[in-house]
Every structure is written in structure tokens, then in C-alpha cells.
């Protein structure tokens, strides 16, 4: 198919047919297909029995959408299952890197739970994630650095596209599909629920394992360079944190809002510690680190843990997700999520002694942080961890949780409310 014909297929296409399931449903509810479509770039993957296969970059208003697609009788149809056709090489602005055998042919099934991107499982062995938007992402570099170190699932493929300004944008990552794995919001909640119900479990062991894995991850990243955030950088962080606090105060009403406002002075005092620091180390980090980013699976009678999703914080612009940051940001995110696990258990489980889950929080946090520090010390990288940042960064995380609750998930406000009330039991 010529470029002209592909252009024509793009121009005729309906945007809802080019989006993953969840964005499709949102668009359908809005009733607005938006601006016209135009082709920016494309990689031809050849003919299949169903039609001509392409990776197309499609302009839709101010967005550049990644579309794995088939052209069938002149019509462009999204098909993430074409991933197995990819072969290693440089093709114009597209680069296909293949590791560990690439993406196998065979059955392809979609994971419909992914909120924005397309994820498909190839031959029950490789998970392929198609980015929705062609934006700068740190995922490819972080996955390359960690590959083969038993920290992440094995890497199978990366596809990048170079935009008109020369930026490489990750549009596909393919990693080992960890069979029968559950994410942390499942396994950790079940762990604490079982503990609260009096069942025989090891409530701390997984957190120690996770502490060591996190230290190993940061040690690998530190090998690629350790920088410094200056006093000016920390002043910016302080200003952002105060702004998030003020926004949380503004958007949260009811008893939760009253409790937050009653603790504003004490919270502000903690955040003001950022202004007293003249510098702190920075490295590449996960960037969106919490218990939900850790898979757990049973293999041969023992547990296997794997850290996933290295795209960075969705709260930051894509270019900022690439920047080095304090290792403490990852640690604060994980410590906060450990606290969240216990709050979720108590909120969702009837007829339990809620004090058991609450008592688990400091024990689990201590096990995680102690093991993390021990492993960093053994690797000679303890200097990258600045514990002074932990409390301010946890507070900032909870303020953002309040904002998220107000904007997207109203009932979630009970979580940051419980965390901050626990951190500041007394009012101002």
C-alpha cells in the first residue's frame, strides 16, 4: 500500500476505532469524535492474512497517537496483536530492539483492564504494552539498565520512534509475562487481611525482600550517574509541595477537610524542612513507585517478586519524568502505599480488629526501610539515600492523594485522611 492510500485510510478512520478500550468508552460517553486525523509517520510491517500491517503515528488535535493497525479493504483498524511481526532493525524514524528471542507468534489475548494503553499477552509468555501517546518516556532506558538482574521481568523488545524534533519516544515495550502473578494491591491487601483475620502468614518477609530489591534497583541506576539537587531545586520542590497542600485544603470538604485544616500548621512545618537543605543526591528512579508496581508469583514453591511500569509519574509532564530525582521519592511512595494497604483492609473488611492492620504499618515500613538501607550499605551506595526527605515527600504524596480523590475517586479520601491523621495525631 502506498503512502497516499495509507493517508486516505487514516483520514477516513474514526478515532474511536483507533483507541484502546477504555479511551474508546470515554469518547463514546462524550459523544465527540474531536478533530480530524492525519498521518504523521508509519512503519510498514508487511502483509498478513487479514490485511496490511502498520505502526502508524496519527495526529489527533494536539496529540500524536500510536496506532498498531491493519488496513483491511481500505479501512484502518486498531490491532495490537500485530506485535509478533516486529523484527529487529532501524527503519527510518523507527527502531526495533529485540532481546531474549523477541515476541513469539501464536495466540494473542488482550488485557482489558489496562486503563489507557493496550496490553496483549503473546503466546502466554510475553506481555506487550503499546503506548497510547507517542511521548517521551523513561521506560526503555530503565528497562535496559535493569534487564537480567532479577528485578524486573525479562525484556523482549523495545520500539522507539524519533519525532520531528529528534526526540526518541518509546511506543512499545515487551517483557516477560509473569504467569499467575498478582500485583501488590492484591497480594499485599490479602496478606494484611489474612493477618487481621488471625490466619497464619508471614506479614513482614515480603517487605524485607522488597526492600532489598529496591536497593538493588537504585544501585543499578546509581551506576549511570549520581547528581545533586541544589538548594534552588529543593526550593522549587518546597513550593510545589505547599501548592499541593493548599489545593488539597481547597478541594476537600467535610470531616476530612476539617481534620486536614486543623493540622495545616504542623504539616507546613514538616514541608518547610525542604527549605533548610542545601543539596541532596539525585539518580534515575522508578518515579511512580508503590506496592501496586510489584508483582508476586509462586514459582517452584517459592515467591518471585518483579517490579514493573517504569513510565514515571503520570502527575508529571513527560519530559519531567525523565529527570533524575532523589531516591527518597521512591522510598516515600512505597512507605505511603504500605500505609494505604492497611487502610484499605480496614475499610473493606468486616468484623476484624482494625488495630491489627494499623499495628502492622510501622512494622512493615521498618522492615522495608531497614533492609533497603542494609542492601544499599553493602553495595556502597548509601550516600544516594537522604532520609530527611521521607516525611515531606510522604506528606506531598498524601496531598496528591486528596487531590486525586477530589477529581476522580471521591471515596478514596479516607486513605490520605487516615495517613495524615496517623502522622499528626494532634491538631495544631
State how far the alpha carbon of 123 is from the alpha carbons of 105, 176, 378, in Å.
Answer: 7, 11, 40
Q: Give the distance, in angstroms, between the CA of residue 74 and the centroid of all CA atoms in the same chain.
A: 37
pLDDT for 247 beyond 90: yes
pTM of the model: 0.92
- 153-171 residue pLDDT tens: 999 999 999 999 999 999 9
Q: Are 286 and 307 in contact (CB under 8 A)?
A: yes
At residue 115, the pLDDT reads 57
pLDDT digits (tens, 9 = 90+) for 374-384: 999 999 999 99
Confidence bin at 111 (pLDDT 50/70/90): confident
- DSSP symbol at 358: H
CB-based contacts of 105-110 (< 8 A; 24+ apart in sequence): 108/80, 108/81, 108/83, 108/84, 110/21, 110/80, 110/81
Say if residue 24's pLDDT is above 60.
no
Dist CA 331 CA 328 (whole Å): 5
Residues of the chain with pLDDT > 70, as a percent, come to 95
Identify whether the C-beta of residue 402 lies closer than 8 Å to the C-beta of residue 369: no
pLDDT at 31 over 60: no
Residue 99's φ and ψ, nearest 5 degrees, are -130, 150
The sheet with strand 52-60 has its strands ordered as: 37-47, 52-60, 63-72, 75-78
Residue pLDDT, tens place only, 274-299: 999 999 999 999 999 999 999 999 87
Evaluate whether 113 touches 122 at the Cβ level (below 8 Å): no
Helix ranges (H only) for 252-326 are 254-262, 264-271, 318-321
Round the average pLDDT of the chain to a whole number and report it: 93
Q: What is the DSSP letter of 97?
A: E
* Res 1: pLDDT: 46
The pLDDT of residue 134 = 93
Torsion of CA 85, 91, 97, 103, to 10 degrees: 0
Cell numbers for 152: 524486573
Cell triple for residue 330?
A: 521512591
- With 60 as the cut, is the pLDDT of residue 35 above it? yes
Give the per-residue pLDDT at 49: 87
In which band, very low, low, confident or very high, does the pLDDT at 28 lie, cut at 50, 70 and 90? very low
User: What does the pLDDT average to over 298-321?
Assistant: 89
The full set of domains in the chain, from first to last, is: 3-176 (no CATH), 184-423 (3.90.1200.10)
Amino acid at each position: 500500500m502506498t503512502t497516499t492510500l495509507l493517508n486516505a485510510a487514516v483520514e477516513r478512520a474514526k478515532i474511536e476505532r483507533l483507541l484502546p478500550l477504555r479511551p474508546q468508552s470515554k469518547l463514546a460517553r462524550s459523544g465527540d469524535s474531536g478533530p480530524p486525523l492525519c498521518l504523521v509517520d508509519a512503519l510498514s510491517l508487511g502483509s498478513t492474512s487479514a490485511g496490511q500491517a502498520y505502526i502508524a503515528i496519527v495526529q489527533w488535535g494536539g496529540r500524536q497517537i500510536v496506532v498498531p493497525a491493519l488496513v483491511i479493504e481500505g479501512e484502518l483498524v486498531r490491532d495490537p496483536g500485530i506485535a509478533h511481526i516486529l523484527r529487529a532493525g532501524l527503519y527510518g524514524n523507527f527502531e526495533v530492539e529485540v532481546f531474549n528471542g523477541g515476541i513469539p507468534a501464536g495466540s494473542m489475548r488482550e488485557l482489558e483492564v489496562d486503563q489507557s494503553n493496550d496490553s496483549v499477552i503473546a503466546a502466554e509468555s510475553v506481555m506487550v504494552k503499546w503506548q497510547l501517546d507517542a511521548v517521551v518516556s523513561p521506560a526503555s532506558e530503565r528497562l535496559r539498565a535493569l534487564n537480567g538482574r532479577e528485578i524486573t521481568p525479562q525484556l523482549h523488545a523495545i520500539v522507539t520512534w524519533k519525532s520531528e524534533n529528534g526526540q526518541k519516544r518509546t511506543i512499545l515495550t515487551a517483557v516477560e509475562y509473569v504467569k499467575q502473578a498478582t500485583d501488590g494491591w492484591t497480594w499485599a491487601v490479602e496478606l494484611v487481611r489474612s493477618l487481621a483475620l488471625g490466619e497464619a502468614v508471614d506479614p513482614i518477609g515480603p517487605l524485607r525482600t522488597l526492600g532489598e530489591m529496591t536497593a538493588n534497583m537504585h544501585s543499578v541506576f546509581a551506576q549511570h550517574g549520581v547528581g545533586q539537587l541544589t538548594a534552588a531545586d529543593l526550593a522549587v520542590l518546597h513550593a510545589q509541595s505547599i501548592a499541593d497542600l493548599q489545593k488539597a485544603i481547597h478541594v476537600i470538604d467535610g470531616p476530612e477537610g476539617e481534620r486536614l485544616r486543623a493540622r495545616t500548621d504542623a504539616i507546613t512545618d514538616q514541608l518547610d524542612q525542604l527549605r533548610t537543605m542545601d543539596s541532596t543526591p539525585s539518580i534515575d528512579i522508578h518515579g511512580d513507585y508503590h506496592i501496586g508496581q510489584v508483582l508476586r508469583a509462586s514459582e517452584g514453591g517459592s515467591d518471585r517478586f518483579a517490579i514493573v511500569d517504569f513510565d514515571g509519574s503520570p502527575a508529571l509532564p513527560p519530559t519531567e519524568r525523565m529527570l533524575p530525582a532523589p531516591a527518597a521519592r521512591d522510598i516515600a511512595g512505597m512507605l505511603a502505599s504500605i500505609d494505604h494497604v492497611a487502610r484499605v483492609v480496614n475499610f473493606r473488611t468486616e468484623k476484624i480488629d482494625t488495630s491489627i492492620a494499623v499495628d502492622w504499618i510501622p512494622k512493615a515500613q521498618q522492615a522495608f526501610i531497614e533492609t533497603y538501607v542494609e542492601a544499599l550499605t553493602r553495595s556502597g551506595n548509601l550516600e544516594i539515600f537522604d532520609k530527611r526527605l521521607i516525611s515531606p515527600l510522604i506528606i506531598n504524596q498524601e496531598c496528591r492523594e486528596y487531590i486525586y480523590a477530589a477529581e476522580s475517586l471521591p471515596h478514596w479520601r479516607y486513605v490520605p485522611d487516615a495517613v495524615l491523621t496517623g502522622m499528626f495525631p494532634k491538631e495544631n
